[in-house]
Chain A
Amino acid sequence: MDKDLVQYIFGIADNALILGQRLGELCGHGPSLETDIAMTNISLDLLGQVRSYYQYAAKLMGDDTTEDTIAFLRKEREYKNVLLVEQPNQDFAYSISRQFLFDSYHLLLLEELQNSTDATLSAIAKKSIKEVSYHTRFSSDWIRRLGGGTEESHNRIQEAITHLWAFTDELFHQTDADKTMVSEGIGVDVTKLKDAFYKKVSAVLEESTLETPQLQYFQKGGKQGVHSEHMGYLLADLQYMQRTYPNMNW
């Protein structure tokens, strides 16, 4: 089994799983019926992508591993998602800002992952890119709308962007597995996406009359499995069924 490849897949797929779970929490709780459906649609898109990645990882790992054991039965430290995606749905401004920041990165990543020498990863990227283009359009439109909306919406979206900004730098950190995969032509060198990301995001913020936060210190840890306190609660929700009723199906 190629351990680095599996870790590399987790590094990409866990982001989609954890963000999908966060968005799923909004099911029935969105600010309007239309937004509720839109957010949970995005959640389902992400979970669909996760399945493709985990099925591939399960094949590489062999034994009794399945997509479900990867999704539901790992320990907190074994999840390699960035801190950004596990941040809670404090209010709609936070949910849509988190989405906007992640989508902007996700699209850049998939554009490059299409060129991976690994045929499976390249195929998943090609399929996902249409979905993620729409996610980016949806979340960017909301940033513009709230930024240019009322004083209240402007202030709240600015607050959320400023708060979540500390989690953006981690998107461009490389793990050891990332470096190995990049050298083999399989992985994407995320450090090269950084400039494009900040340029793209700042342009939308400027259009939305919002300020691009200036920060010196950023949060990190998720990619190493060291998560924020929110992660444990999220996993408790996510894993409850499989832990309580092992192998249950419906």
Chain B
Amino acid sequence: MKNWPLWEVFIRSKNGLEHRHCGSLHASDATMALENARDVYTRRMEGVSIWVVPSAQITASNPDDSAELFEPAKDKAYRHPTFYELPDELKHM
């Protein structure tokens, strides 16, 4: 069990919505990861679709680089589309 790799779990809660990361779990193979994800994360009807991805396959940004990666965006309010009027029919924006 200690040797079981870690998997990241993504659940789509409703048709039309995107898969969202909801947690991680241990499993020896992809089939087991899917079954475990079903049992651990969709017991209360949370999902209509599951993705599992080996955690080792995810390349993450380094927190030490946060300053150069994210801070330059801070003072560029004009990049936010807050100046547009959205029609009421448009949901999930």
Contacts and interface: CB of A to CB of B under 8 A. Distances in A.
Contacts of B40: 33-34, 37-38
B36 interface: yes
B36 A38 contact: yes
Contact of B35 (A31, A32, A33, A38): A38
A141 B32 contact: yes
B80 interface: no
Interface in B40-63: 40, 43
B1 A31 contact: yes
Interface string A176-194: 0000000000000000000
Given A38-B35, A38-B36, A145 B28 contact: yes
A138 interface: yes
B1 A32 contact: yes
B66 interface: no
Interface string B16-47: 00000000011111011001101110010000
A41 interface: yes
B28 A41 contact: no
Contacts of A145: 28-29, 32
Contacts of B78: none
B28 A34 contact: no
Interface in A226-245: none
A34 B4 CA distance: 12
Contact of A41 (B4, B25, B39): B39
A225 B29 CA distance: 42
Interface in A150-182: none
A34 B39 contact: yes
A140 to B, nearest CB: 11
A141 B31 CA distance: 8
Contacts of A137: 35
Nearest to A44: B43
A130 to B, nearest CB: 13
A143 to B, nearest CB: 13
Given A37-B40, A38-B36, A32 B4 contact: yes
A33 B32 CA distance: 13
18 contacts: A33-B26, A33-B40, A34-B25, A34-B26, A34-B27, A34-B36, A34-B40, A37-B36, A37-B39, A37-B40, A38-B35, A38-B36, A41-B39, A137-B35, A141-B31, A141-B32, A145-B29, A145-B32
Q: When A and B form their complex, which 7 residue pairs have the shortest distance between CB atoms, in order from nearest?
A: A34-B36, A38-B39, A37-B39, A32-B1, A41-B39, A34-B25, A37-B40
